[in-house]
Structures are given as structure tokens and as C-alpha cells.
Structure 1
């Protein structure tokens, strides 16, 4: 038997003292944003992978150094885009899992609320502004 995730009501998600509780509509909007972004990222990854596969088939015979260098650059660029898209996809999936677990909005560093406004602007956030700034200064 597979355990089913227990989804906490939006009102139970943490918020800062100066913010109102999450409403079901607000949380649904953030979830829809994340799900739309996940769908776009899956399509972007598929496109990048097919481009890499198509361009990787040639042996490069007859290419001069500039052509070979350009092809290598393009291939590495597509690979980097696919890698970044995969990272973003993982972040989106993690945010949805946190919503389902009732831990969405909790800073992973200081365990205080991240802030509803920050999450509405950047739904993948896992840290409050203060902790994120501290991390970026290191």
C-alpha cells in the first residue's frame, strides 16, 4: 500500500507576523504557476535533448577549425541550458512537495517564515531574504 501525502490547508502554512494567512486561492495560484513552469521546463529539456542528439550525429569530417569550434560551442551551450532547466525543474517539484507536506514557506536555514510576498514573487524560494543574502555573501 502506497502512503498518500497529507496536504495541509493553506491557512496552516507559515507566514510572517505582518502578513495575512495564505488563502486557498493564493496557494492554488502559486501552485498553478509552479506547474506551468514545470511543464515549460519539461518541454525545454526535451527540445534541448533532441537538439543535442540531432547535432551530435555528425562526424565533423571536412569541418575547418572554426566550424568545429562553433559546433562544440553550440553543443556545450545546449547542454548547459538543459542542465539549468533540470535544476529549475527539481526546484519547482520540491516546492510543490513542500506545499503538500505543509512545510512550504519555512526558511530552510533559520526555520522562520520566508514571507508570503516573496513566495508569490519567487515560488521556488527555500530561504527568507536575510538568510539568502547571508548565503550569497559567502
Structure 2
């Protein structure tokens, strides 16, 4: 059962039901969109691979173009998979009551940060420290 009280910093107002619902809806919509995009990416990649990249019958420019297209599609699919995993994790954290709590220090992440980036798992201080490494 989803927790109705989400973590907030001491200088923030508590989450309203409407705000919490909006975050959940955004994440749920993102999840559906990302799943659809992954299906499309898989189909596009299949089409690219079916066209072949081995160069048989193609000039050098065609082979290079096909390789670039394949690499771009693989990169896009990897990014979509990562976003999908982050979205699933955020929804799970909403359900288990840990949404809004920093995974490193255990302090609230910050309501404004989560409203801007609902997949955030780290508070700004921990995120800054992580990026410096």
C-alpha cells in the first residue's frame, strides 16, 4: 500500500495529496512511454541489423552510415533502459515509503528537487559529492 506521507526537508511544506498524485502520474506515464520507446528502438535496431553492416554490396560510405546508425540506436536504447529502471525504482520507492529519502545519507532529498527530477535518489549534497569523484 502506498505511503501517503512523503519525506520533506525541515524548510519545506509537506507534500499535498495532489502533488504526490501528480508525481506518481508523471512517473507512471513515463514508464508507459519508455516501454513503448524501447519496443520501437528494438524494432529499429532489428531493421538496421537486417539490412546488414558487413559491407557486402555496399560502398564504404554506406557501411559507415549503417554502423553510425546502429551505434546511435544502441546508445538510445541503453539510455531508455536506464530511465526505465530509474522510473520503476522511483515508483517502488513511492510504494514502500522510501521516496524522497536520500539513499546515501538518509536525509530528505528535497521536495523541489523531486518535483523537478522525480527519479532522484540522492539529496543535492550527496549528488555533488558523487559527481566530484
For the residues of structure 2 that align with 1:27 and 1:125, how far apart are their CA atoms? 15
| 2:7 equivalent to 1:14 | yes
Aligned to 1:71: 66
Tell me the distance in 2 between the aligned counterparts of 1:84 and 1:38. Answer: 13
Structure 1: any 5+ residue segments left out of the alignment? Answer: 1-5
> How many Å separate the matches in 2 of 1:108 and 1:46?
31
Deviates more, 1:92-101 or 1:17-26: 17-26
C-alpha separation in 2, matches of 1:107 and 1:85: 23
Counting matched residue pairs gives: 131
Residue 48 of structure 1 pairs with residue 41 of structure 2: yes
Q: CA deviation at 1:58?
A: 2.6
The 2-side partners of 1:20 and 1:73 are apart by 49
Q: For each residue in 1:57-90, what CA deviation from the matched residue of structure 2 results, as whole angstroms up to 9, or x when unmatched?
A: 1344210111101101101110110111010000
Alignment partner of 1:131 is 2:118: no
Q: CA RMSD in A?
A: 1.0
- In the other structure, the counterpart of 2:117 is 122
TM-score by length of 2: 0.94
Match of 1:89 among 65, 74, 84: 84
